[in-house]
Every structure is written in C-alpha cells, then in structure tokens.
Structure 1
Amino acid sequence: MNGLFSGALVFDPHLPWLLIAGLAGLAAVLVVYALWRGLPGWPLRGAAALVLLIALANPSLQEEDRAPLSDIVIAVVDRTASQSVGTRTAQADAALAALRAEVAALPNTELRVVTVPDAPGDGGSQVMAALAEALAQEPRARVAGAVILSDGQVHDLDLAPQMPAPLHLLLTGAAKDWDRRLIVKNAPAFAIIGEPVTLTLRIEDHGAVPADLAGVAELSIAVDGGEPQIYSVPVGEDLDLPVTLPHGGQNILQFQVTVREGELTDRNNASVTAINGVRDRLRVLLVSGEPHAGERVWRNLLKSDPSVDLVHFTILRPPEKQDGIPVEELSLIAFPTRELFVEKIDEFDLIIFDRYRLRGILPTAYLENVRDYVRRGGTVLVAAGPEFGTADSLWRSPLAEILPVETTSRVLEGGFRPKLTPLGERHPVTQGLDALAPEAGWGRWFRQIEISARPAGQVVMEGAQGKPLLVLAREGEGRVAVLASDHAWLWGRGYEGGGPQLEMLRRLAHWMLKEPELEEETLVAEPGEGAIRVIRRTLSETPPGPAELTRPDGSVASLDLPQVGPGHYQAEVAAPGVGLYRVTQGDLETVVAIGPPAPKEFEETIASGEKLAPLVAATRGGVLRIEAGMPDLRAVAEGRVAAGRGWIGLIPRGAYVTQDIRVAALLPGWAWLVLAAALMLAAWLREGRLVRRRA
C-alpha cells in the first residue's frame, strides 16, 4: 500500500484567542488613529501589528503520512426457503461468483458476503436485518455500495438501515414464473364438537398464469389423514367451508390444491390446520337411590366442574317404608321420567346410577331405552351399593344385558385399600393414579359388593379379597362402567389421606366420551421444537413393533418405540421439514403438522422488486434481473445515478488511515520579532525623513 502525504496550516496560539482578538482590535484602533493624524508610516505600523498578532497565533505546518483504505462492497445473499424453488439457487450462486470476479478486478476494493437463512419461528426473509448488521460491522466511510441477491420477497422492511452508498437488487427467478396458492383464513384453535365452524378458503394465482389453467382448481379435503374428498372450486374467490369436528382433542384438517404443470412450487398448494375439539357442556344425569353419605360427594364433585351440566334426581323414600302414598306423588319436584328417559335421553353424555334400585318409578321400557341408548353410543356408570345384589337390583333389569359384571349378592365388610390391577396399570383411565397417592397410600374403603367380571369386562381396580372393584366395558357403540362400592366418597372427604376421586372420575367420563387420548389402543404424534414425539399406548403385554414415519417429502423411516411405562411406549424423532408427518403402526394411523399452516416464505413466491424498489431508488441504485445477465460494475460520483441498463455503480470512497503526523513552526519566534521590528523601524524612518524635509 503506497503512502500519501498531505500538508495543512494549523495554529497553536501562545495566548487565548479571545485575548488575541482584543489585541487585534486595539492595533486596528491605533492604525486608524495614525491614518487620521496623517502619519505616512501607518501602513508599516499596521503590518508590524499584524506580524505580532500572527506570531502570537503561532502558525505551524502540519504534514500527514496517510495510508489509503480499500472500499467495501457488501453482498447480501438470500438463502431462505423461497430461494430454493426453480433455478433461483443456481442463479444466486452464478451471480455471486460473477460479483466476486468483478470486485476482485477493481483496484483497492473488497467484497463482504452475508448469507441470510430462514428466520426462526416462521420469521421469513430477514434481509434488512442482515444488511443492517453487516453495515454496523464496517466503517460507513468505506462502504462503496451494497448488492442484494434475492427474489425480493423480504419480510423486515421496517428494519431497513440508512444507506451511505448505492443499494442494488439483483433479482432471481424468471419473468414467466407463475404459481397457485391456497389460503386458509379465520381457522380457530378450538371448536365445539358437533357444532359446525366456518373456515374461509381462497385460491389465488400469481404471475404469468397459462390461459388454459386459469379460473378453476381442484381442492381435496381430508380429516385426520383419512380419505380425501375432491371438489372443483373457482380461483380468486372466498369459499366458506362449514366443518364439524368428529371427536375431541386435536383434529387435523388437510387441504390440498392439485399441482399443475409449470407451477413454481407446490409448497403453498397445501395447508394443514389443527383444531382442538372441545365439548361445550358435559351433560350428566345423576339418578340417586336412597340418600347416603356419598350422594353429596357425587353431587359436589360434578357441580364443582363448570363444564358439567348436571341433572340430579334422588329417590327419597326407602323401599321398606309402606305408607300407602302413591309412588308418583313422592317427589318434591315431579320426576319427568318420560322426558328424561324417552324424549331427551340422547342429549345426555353420561348417565350415573348411584345406589339405585328398582322401585317402579322407572318402568322396564325406560330402562330398555337406557340399554339401547348405550348401544347407540351412550355411556352409563353404575356406582353400586348393598342393594346391587338384592332382588330389585339394576342387575336384574334390562340393563343386565349391557353390564360387564355378575353379582353374588354378597357384601364384603371391612377396611381395604383399592389398588390397580396389572391391566389397570396399563389402562389409560387408571394408569398413573397410584402416583397421586399420599405417602401412606390411598385411604381405605369399608364396603364392597362382590362381583365377577364377564369376559368383555376390563378389571382395572380391585379391592377386598382381590375382588373386582372397577370394571369397564364396551357395549355396541357405547361404554359402561361399574364401581362395586359406595365408599368412593371417603376419598373425596380425605379420609386417611383420601385418593384421586376427582381425577378418576374425570378420566372415566372422558374415556366413556371416547376422547382420543384415553383410548386403550392409541397412536399419538405430538409436535415439538423441530421434533415429533410418538406415543403408543396398548393393553397388550406384548411390545408393539416399530412404527413407520412418512415425512412431507414422501420418504419413509422405521421408528422403534422403547417402553417408558406399563403399556406406554414412546420415542422422539427429528422433524426438520415443515409439513404433514404420517405415523402408522399396524391398523393405527395418525398425522401431525409441523410448522405453520402456511409458511411465510411461500405466501408470495413470484420474484418481484416492488417491495425493495423505494429503498433502492432512495440511494439511486437499480433493480436488475439476473436472467438478463450479470451487470458490470462502474465507479460513479456521489449523488449521481448509480444504475443503468446492464450496469450498477459503486462510489469510490477514498478513505485512509493516518500513519504519521509531523508539525513544524512556520517561522521561529525570533524571526517574527525581527520582521515586526524591521517594519516598525521602517515606519519611524519614513516619518522622521518626512519631518526633516518639511523643516
């Protein structure tokens, strides 16, 4: 690097500038006075005063040894997902290579390359943030220009920096590109099961769309990875789609527009929407027999849950009381048996019989309706007491056809602690309940009705003498549960530490309502941070085989599921790509969506310089397409137009660093004094000679 020299005149005054200014004013007054008196030496007197003032200012000659600095050109290369479509990556690589060669051919110029990856959290193309960061790392006085290699679809224009030099955009893509995009609007995160929710869909075409493909598109809709339904829909119009969720928990809705030949990408032809199905209100009918200590616990337990809509009736007269009063006149409030058990029975999600016995209030036809209600998909829970083994037991009614137990009419008295059976340790209704027990274990119960489970029954809890305590079963489309004790209320009262009565009832109700997370045989896939957690629950003692994972790109991988608990198998697998993942194992299948429903990078895929044009124009830069050829680099003066057809301009900055400074006095102090004295002597001689001549 060659050195440069530069000289400058500097002052280092012996007196403060204010005092020197005062002396200068005084000298000016004296010179004016001499001129007024007609003294012929006044110019010489003024010159002598000026010399003295300059001497007081102490002028010096400063010389700098400067080393020139190179100009810097910043290249911002967009490497986000939208740049991977078509030939954009190859275009950007070729343009960057040509830019490197052009800059290398310029004298005293360096190139800084900044790469912009996908922003985390679907942040899109953060090109302006990368440019601002690159500018912050360089002296602004050395920046000769900046070049962005991108499709122009940036998402952080509000972070654009103030440019000290021209900004140029080299646009990837082709002018003939076209693309079709699916948009899903106002998709809710939650929806009520059984009630329609309206989604708005829109299909848009962008770019140079072929005439024979414009106007109509094929749309397929699938729920939870099921068989898709295909419709022909118009392009460019909002479509209102009513959707009714089939089950609780997460419902995956997949929308797909058929890909046409010549489309830029199919990444925005599909959208995956996850909607959690929730129940508006859990309608429970609680029919209690004779009053007992556990009745209020049942009622308080159900009423404490704001999501439960409880209808409760209690039969107040014990069966042994004979007073001649007709049965239909015993209720404090008329018991609307026909309305509840004939007209509106299907409106209830759960019917609970708490120590109920046959008293003639519910005719056999009504109990047959309850039986048929279960087979149609309803649910019944029987909380049995001592009456369950008597002649007027529900077990001796039409409900016996759906109950999963048989009774021996024996009542077991004495303290016992309920415990989970090996099946109960694997069943989702009771799995992990023992972890909620206090240190001393669950509190004791003191009465149990001896029952035996039928082949269809699942014994998940046992009590006194190892007899079945809680038995679950499926009947037709519905489900039934029998709790063979009326002392569950002791847990609710906290006796001897109590037990998880509320959690057990919640799980039991949700299992009866067929919530997916409480199914006995389930395969669940949960999205995580760049990963998928696959959970397999089973009642079988034999470990399931490996699962099959199908990625969005169609590749398939085998996934082993190690056991993490009784009947609980789980594994986690990386999911770097955005889209729909499908997991299958035997007859079970589930899907999970990773990433946003519509990635921001593929909302606008047609390359365009419209967004960046105002920023580029403000610096007198240019927007040029790479497909038209790589532009030449030219040096332009600051403030001049910096782009034209086939070229872009850089401003030579001429920056330097000072290596050495030398300061030397313009004249030594004695020389100033001699010069001032000579001028004053000349003035005296001139004025003295003139006086003698006049004399």
Structure 2
Amino acid sequence: MNQVLAGIDFAPVLPHWLLVALAVVVLAALAPALIRVVVTAEGQRRIAPARGALLRLAAFAALFLALANPRLVEETRETRPDIALLVVDRSDSTGVADRTRQIEAAREALEARARRLPELELRTVEVPEAGNQGTRLWSAVERALAEVPRARLAGVIALTDGQVHDLPPAPNLDAPFHLLLPGRAGEVDRRIRIVEAPGFGIVGRQVELRVVVEDLGATQQGGAARLTIRRDGGAPRVESVPVGREHRIAFTIERGGPTVVEMTAETRPGEVSDINNRAVVSINGVRDRLRVLLVSGEPHAGERTWRRLLKADPNVDLVHFTILRPPEKDDLTPLHELSLIAFPVRELFQVKLREFDLIVFDRFANRGLLPPVYLRNIADYVRSGGALLLSVGPEFVGPTSLASTPLGQVLPARPPTGSGAAQAGLVEQPFRPRVTALGSRHPVTESLPGANPTEGTGDATWGRWYRAMRADARSGSTVMEGPNGAPLMVLDRVGEGRVALMLSDHIWLWSRNHDGGGPQAELLRRIAHWTMKEPELEEEDLTARIEHGHLTVQRRSLDPGPAPEIVVTAPDGSVTRHRVEARGGRVTVEMPAALPGVWQATDGQRTAYAAAEAGNPMEIADLRADDAKLRPLTVATGGAVRWLGGDGGVPELRRTAPGRDTHGSGWIGLRRNGDHTVTGITALPLLPPWLALPMVLGLAILAWRREGR
C-alpha cells in the first residue's frame, strides 16, 4: 500500500551556528530602537519603539527566513505488512487426551482471523516430534525468526502444552509472546520414575531396582499406590508403594540373556493420561566367572589346545589336572620321592563337584582312578543341570572306556562292543571333518568358516585329521561327521544338563595350521559355551529385541519342516501375524515398534519378550499442560496465557500500537510496527530567492521612509 505524507522542512543556506550568531548581532543592534524610553506630555515615562524599528525587525526576519530556506516536502511511502508467527506443537505429548483436536481447531480459527486483519502476514511454524530430545519448540521459533525482519515482527502465538525442553535462560524476543494451552489449568499426572536400574545381573544373584511413583500437580502428596510387577510376561506381583518416596524392588536373575521387567502403577483418578504410569527395564543376565574342571587322562599333543582355549577367556577359572602316573604304572619309586600330587578325587567329584560350570574329560580312561560312585555323581550332576564335554581317543573304544561306566548312561554315543571292538572302533586314515545337514542349522556349527556347502555336496576346506573313533549315536544331534559319514561330534541334552562328545583327538592339528588348519578356537569355544547354556547358542530358541524403534524376532530350530506362524502382541494388545520362510533353520521377522512397553512374540511353543522404552522419554516425563516454563517469557514480552479448554476458547486477534497493552479480556494483540519503504520525495521551496529578495528590499524601503518622516 502506498501512502503520501506532506510536511514543512528547513534546509538552511548557512550553518545553524552562523545563523544564530547573526541573529544575536541583529537583535543587539535593534535593541536600542526597540526598547526606547520616551516622556509623554503629562511627564510620564514609557517604552516605545523608535519610528521604523518594527519594519527593520520585519526586514531582518524576512532575511533570516529566506536563509532558513523553508520547503514543503512530500514523501511517498510503501508500507510493508507485519509478520506474526503461529507456532504449532506436534510433539507426542500433544496427542494425549483431546489436545490434538483443540490445537487444530485453534490453529484454523487464528489463521482465519489473521486473514481479516489488514497489513498482517501470519506464518505457521510446525514443531515436529524430536525423538529422544523432547519438545524443541524454541529451536523452531529461532529458525523462523531468522527469516523475519525484527522491524516487522508483530508477535508470536504458541499452541503447545507448555512442556518445552530447549528454552534458554533469557530468550531474545522483543515482540509479545502469547501462550495458548489445550485443556484447563490444574491438571494432574502420575508417573513412574526409575532412579536406578542395573544394565546386567549375575545369574543366580539378586538385583535391585529403585523406582519412585510420583503425583505431579496434586495439591496433596503422600498416600500409597499399587504397583504391578511382571517379569518376562509371568504372573503379576502387586506391591503397595508410598507415593513420592523411593521404593526398592529385588529379584533373582534366573537365566542368561535379557530379563524384561514391566512395572505399572495404578491410574490416579482424573490424571490426564496413564502412558507414563508404565516403565520397562531390560536386565541382561550374565554368568559370573565360569569354573571349569579339565582332566587330561595322559599327556598328549592336543592337551595344550584345551588349556590355551580356556585360559584365554578372562571369565574362566580353570582347574586342570593331568594324570601323569596311572595306577598300573609301578616302578617301585617311593612316594616321598615323587614330585607329583595325588589326584584329589573326593574333593573334586563329591565335595566341590557342583561348584563347576563345566567338566572336560580329555582322553580320560577309567583306570580305577574314579570309583563308580564318583562317576555316578558326575552323571547326576549332568542330569541336574551340569555341563560335560568329552574329547576321546583310542581309550574310548577300549576296555577302559568311560562308556562302560555309570557315566555312559548320559553319553549320546556308544563304541562297538564284543571281541575285536577296539580294532573296529578305531579308524586311522586321513579325512576332512564335515558338517552334517543337521549341523548346518545348529548354532554350534552353522556358518563355520571353511565348512562344506550347506547343500551337502563338496568337501570342507579344513585341514585333515588322521584318527577318529567309530561309535553309534543313540541320542542327541550329530553335527559333524568323519570317515564314511560316521558321527564325529554329538551334542545332547540330558535332563537339565548338556553333554558334548567329540570322537577324535586330532583337533589340535588345526591349531598348528596343518594342511590349511581350521576354526579350532571358534569351534571349541562354541561347544563349551553351548554346554554352559549360553543363550546365543540355543538350538531351539525364540528371541526378540528392539533397537532404534524396530522389533526383530528370530526363531532358531533344527526342524527342517516349514516354520510356524510368528504372532506378535504389542503393548496395547494389538496382534499381528507373520509367516516367513525359514532359511538355514532361522526365521526373522522385523517390524516397527513405536509403542513403549513389553512386546511379546510366540511361535506356539516358545514365547519371547522385548522391552521398548519410550521413543521420547523427556516428552512423557510430565504429561500435564502447564504454563510454568513459558510464563516468564510471556510476562517479559507483555504476552498473555490462555487456556483453550476454558470458557473463553480461542481469543480474538487485535492490532495494537507500540507501547499499548497487547492483551485483554477475550483478545490478544499483535503489535503494529508501521514499517515502510520510502519510494519518492518531492520538495517545493516556500520562499524562493525571487520572492525573498523583493520582500526584504520592500520592508527595508518602508522602514527607511518611515524613519525619514
């Protein structure tokens, strides 16, 4: 819009100080004529100017006016509209209750009213959800202000619940900031705040969670609330906890891997939402330092292989015995001259047997060192949850085989029996170990580097072994095979425990890189960890994990048949079904997991749980609509705070002059700045020289004639 403004301006011909000096000289010169004392006929004295003095004063005044050069100035301006910002909060906390509808209705009403106001441009700024950074409202305002000239800023209107997490201590804003909040003042909210939660716990030991149930916005604090606790979707445990005070929850880690604990506080009457009444904690169960007993039946080339493997793991406490002097060896050396110690049979296999996590027999033969009662103790140890690993040599197919003892009841394979069994059970020929079709799906042997193709054709690229024991597998899973397809490694579950049987003592050749070597360390590590029930090596398992907002469900099975349907239950109870083709014994399902809480996945036989934390924990920490954080800014800028859920509803918009009130009953104001651009200026002299000169001369002549009379 163009405007034309007119006014009188002065453009002096001489400097101001010179004009002032001349004026002082003229007044001094005219003062005697202007202030003259005369005596009247009655003899009275009075002041009267001399004849022609006023005309002389008028002549000088006209001269000074001409030197001041008065002009009639006419200015043409183009006014620029003011700009106001409408900031709309779209973070997750504005989606609770009825806030989304109220904010959207207010946005539409304000935009419609702003269009009716002249010389005003309303710009809408969206504040998106910021992940785990809370509500970044002020950052959005600053980005918008960077594109607005401050001389045109009329004000800022914010549609938000007031939960802002990036407000600086002293915001720089020189225009009114108006805050419009959904709902009504005085909202209350209950939440669970986790004070401390361990990231991991030792299997078999207790861990402790520290939580607080808090009531926000309540006029009265205290009392108690019921807290429901579930572990891995099990039966709920209900405890009464004091509100506002720290509460400790203790439980025992029963297994390795993640343990998901869900806590839910009862809903408070009148609270705005119960989203933050629930908290989920995932605690990873790990084993303490593993105690391993390694018994080598005799010194041999592969003995150091086991020792190096177990000693290389800092989490393993190894107890190693090597039988150097079997009972049948009698060279009449007096016992007091021997530097060897006696094999502590009773201490190891009766007193402290249960303290070991894994027992390894390496080429151990039954030569009377272990009486049947101790071998029976080992078998019972396995059935009740222990781990046993046997690496056997020629002794396994001979008369001193452990398979012929009470321990043989838990072994998954038996050597040949009868006459000539030792010769029939011992195979000495070059061969390359192969992974069986079942082994290609078993986590102990799947994807071993250099293994034979999973289709079953072709040999492995591993180095050759030269000795194997022939045995008949009667239970368990044969994951590797030797010459002529004979079992080479058999894994079995016995009761609550596990047994691994390696029917060769030549794996040490791989550690020497013989004939190209092989994955000796990785294979032995997997075998040992499988026997000790490490979760990542379970052959029949269903796991679920949530990372970066995505749920990954993985099913592992040795069954070659079609995979069953995976059913996923979200924290809100919604159910999705997935049917995916199995590849190598594995089925993987991936899907978004935006809802916080416990997600459950099942294949009909097993169930897995995963904990999803809130995508924006700062956002749901306080779900009340509250003006406490932004009120200082509204006060400092002269803005107003209004509740959309009150009787007033959406306030009217008005334009206000600078320095005037910017809000009142039922209305909020946007400042009128009057910013403009000058497009043209014209100046017309009011006393040009051709007019000023005759005027001055005329007045001077009149003064001369007046004085000459």
- TM-score, normalization: structure 2? 0.84
Measured at CA, do residues 397 and 110 of structure 1 come closer, stay the same or move farther in structure 2, by a change above 3 Å? same
Give 2:125's match in structure 1, choosing from 114, 129, 134. 114
Alignment of 1:25-44 (within 5 A): none
CA contact (8 A) 1:181 1:269 kept: yes
- What pairs up with 1:240-251 in 2 under 5 angstroms? 240-251=248-259
1:204 to 195, 199, 214: 214
Whether the 8 Å CA contact 2:581–2:587 is kept in 1: the answer is yes
> For the structure 1 residues 358 and 95, does the alpha-carbon distance in structure 2 shift closer, same or farther, using more than 3 Å as the test?
same
Moved more, 262-271 or 432-441: 432-441
Return the offset for 1:475. Answer: 0.7
1:151 aligned onto 2:150: no
Aligned residue in 2 for 1:555: 574
| Matched AA of 1:192 | I
The 1-side partners of 2:289 and 2:693 are apart by 108
Compute the displacement of 1:472 (Å).
0.4
Residues 172-194 of structure 1, C-alpha deviations (whole Å, 9 max, x = no match): 12346333211222112222222
CA distance in 2, matches of 1:26, 1:599: 75
State how far apart, in whole Å, the 1-side matches of 2:356 and 2:4 are: 96
Q: Distance in 1 between matches of 2:170 and 2:348?
A: 68
> CA 1:142–1:479 in 2, change beyond 3 Å: closer, same or farther?
same
Q: Deviations over 1:399-454 (max 9, x none)?
A: 10111110123211122111100110011111111457999811111111111111
Q: How does 1:525-540 map to 2 (within 5 A)?
A: 525-540=544-559
1:301 equivalent to 2:297? Answer: no
CA distance in structure 2 between the partners assigned to 1:598 and 1:109 by the alignment: 36
Match of 1:279?
Answer: 287
Cα distance in 2, alignment partners of residues 581 and 111 from structure 1: 44
Query: Are the equivalent residues in 1 in contact too, given 2:72–2:686 (CA < 8 A)?
Result: no
Give the drift of 1:482. Answer: 0.4
Q: Deviation per CA, 1:331-364: give whole Å up to 9, x if none.
A: 6345433222222222211111111112333333
Label 1:53 to 1:208 Cα distance change in 2 as closer, same or farther (>3 A).
Answer: same
DSSP 3-state at the match of 1:271? strand
Select the residue among 184, 189, 194 that pairs with 1:179.
189
> What letter is aligned with 1:177?
E
Q: Which residue of 2 aligns with 1:482?
A: 501
SS in 2 for 1:415: coil
1:253 aligns with 2:253: no
| CA RMSD in angstroms, aligned pairs only | 4.0
Matching residue of 1:442: 462
**Aligned-pair distance for 1:663?**
6.1
How many residue pairs match? The answer is 670
Provide the C-alpha distance between the structure 1 equivalents of 2:426 and 2:579, rounded to a whole number of angstroms.
48
2:262–2:597 Cα contact (<8 Å) kept? no
**CA distance, structure 1, for counterparts of residue 507 and residue 323 of structure 2:** 20
The answer to which of 387-396 and 525-534 deviates more is: 525-534
Provide the C-alpha distance between the structure 2 equivalents of 1:465 and 1:398, rounded to a whole number of angstroms: 30
User: In the alignment, what sits opposite 2:47?
Assistant: none
Structure 1 residues 637 and 24: alpha-carbon distance in aligned structure 2, compared to 1, 3 A threshold = closer
Shift of 1:158: 2.7
Q: Which of residues 249, 272, 283 is equivalent to 1:264? A: 272
Task: Note closer, same or farther for the CA distance 1:375–1:131 as it changes in structure 2 (3 Å cut).
Answer: same
Q: Distance in 1 between matches of 2:442 and 2:153?
A: 68
Note the alpha carbon deviations across 1:291-339, whole angstroms, 9 max, x for none.
Answer: 1111112111111111221111111125663213588996634543322
Residues 273 and 597, structure 1, Cα contact 8 Å, conserved in 2: no
In the alignment, which of 614, 617, 622 is matched to residue 599 of structure 1? Answer: 617
SS in 2 for 1:425: coil
Question: 5+ residue gaps in structure 1?
Answer: 15-19, 686-692
The residue type paired with residue 172 of structure 1 is P
Paired residues for 1:201-600 under 5 Å:
201-208=211-218, 215-259=223-267, 262-317=270-325, 321-325=329-333, 332-408=340-416, 409=422, 410-434=425-449, 441-454=461-474, 456-563=475-582, 565-596=583-614, 599-600=617-618
Deviation at 1:471, TM superposition (A): 0.4
CA distance in 2 between counterparts of 1:419 and 1:13 reads: 110
Match of 2:627 among 594, 600, 609: 609
Letter in 2 for 1:269: N
Task: Please name the residue that 1:17 is paired with.
Answer: none
Alignment check: 8 A CA contact 2:63 2:696 kept: no
The structure-2 alpha-carbon separation of the partners of 1:324 and 1:596, relative to structure 1 and needing over 3 Å to count, comes to: farther
Task: Give the Å deviation of 1:674.
Answer: 12
Q: What is the CA distance between 1:575 and its match in structure 2?
A: 2.7
1:84 and 2:95 equivalent?
yes
Equivalent of 2:652 in 632, 650, 653: 632
The corresponding residue for 1:648 is 668
- Residue 128 of structure 1: which of 127, 138, 142 is its match? 138
Cα 1:26–1:229 change in 2 (3 A) is closer
Q: Aligned in 2, Cα 1:576/1:596: closer, same or farther, shift over 3 Å?
A: closer
**148, 159, 164: which is aligned to 1:138?**
148
Find the residue that maps to 1:103 and give its secondary structure.
Answer: helix
Amino acid at match of 2:599: Y
Once the 2 structures are TM-superposed, how far is the Cα of residue 60 of structure 1 from its aligned partner?
9.5
Q: Which residue pairs with 2:37 in the alignment?
A: none
Partner SS for 2:559: coil
2:505 aligned partner, one-letter code: D
Deviations 1:13-39 (A, max 9, x none): 99xxxxx99x9899989x99xx99xxx
- The structure that has the greater radius of gyration is 2
Task: Give the gaps of 5 or more residues in structure 2.
Answer: 34-56, 417-421, 454-458, 702-707
Report what 2:115 is aligned to: 104
Mark the CA change 1:175 to 1:405 in structure 2 (over 3 Å): closer, same or farther.
Answer: same
Segment drifting more, 122-131 vs 399-408 = 122-131
CA distance in structure 2 between the partners assigned to 1:11 and 1:396 by the alignment: 126
Deviation at 1:539, TM superposition (A): 0.6
Residue 116 of structure 1, CA deviation: 2.0
Query: Structure 2 residue aligned with 1:65, among 51, 76, 83?
Result: 76
Checking the alignment, whether the CA contact within 8 Å between 1:272 and 1:597 is kept in structure 2 is no
Distance 1:451 1:166, change over 3 A: same
CA distance change for structure 1 residues 342 and 640 in 2, over 3 Å: closer, same or farther?
farther
Structure 1 CA distance, aligned partners of 2:66 and 2:338?
Answer: 128
Cα pair distance change 1:359/1:11, threshold 3 Å: farther
How far apart are 1:546 and its partner, in Å?
1.7
C-alpha contact (below 8 Å) 2:295/2:362 kept by paired residues: yes
TM-score by length of 1: 0.85
**Percent of aligned pairs with the same amino acid:** 47
Determine the C-alpha separation between the residues in 2 that align with 1:362 and 1:403: 17
Q: C-alpha separation between the residues in 1 aligned to 2:96 and 2:685?
A: 69
Q: CA deviation at 1:602?
A: 1.7
Report the Cα distance in structure 1 between the residues aligned to 2:473 and 2:336, rounded to whole angstroms: 36
Matching residue's letter, 1:555: S
1:290 positional shift: 0.8
Could you say what secondary structure the match of 1:433 adopts?
A: coil
Contact 2:84–2:121 (8 Å) recurs in 1: yes
Q: Is the 8 A contact 1:132 1:161 kept in 2?
A: no
CA distance in 2, matches of 1:332, 1:486: 25
d(CA) in 2 for partners of 1:673, 1:344: 128
Amino acid at match of 2:300: H
Cα 1:176–1:382 shift into 2, 3 Å: same
Q: Secondary structure at the match of 1:610?
A: coil
Amino acid of the residue matched to residue 422 of structure 1? A
Give yes or no for contact 1:271–1:598 (8 Å, CA) kept in 2: no
Q: Give the residue type in structure 1 aligned to 2:557.
A: T
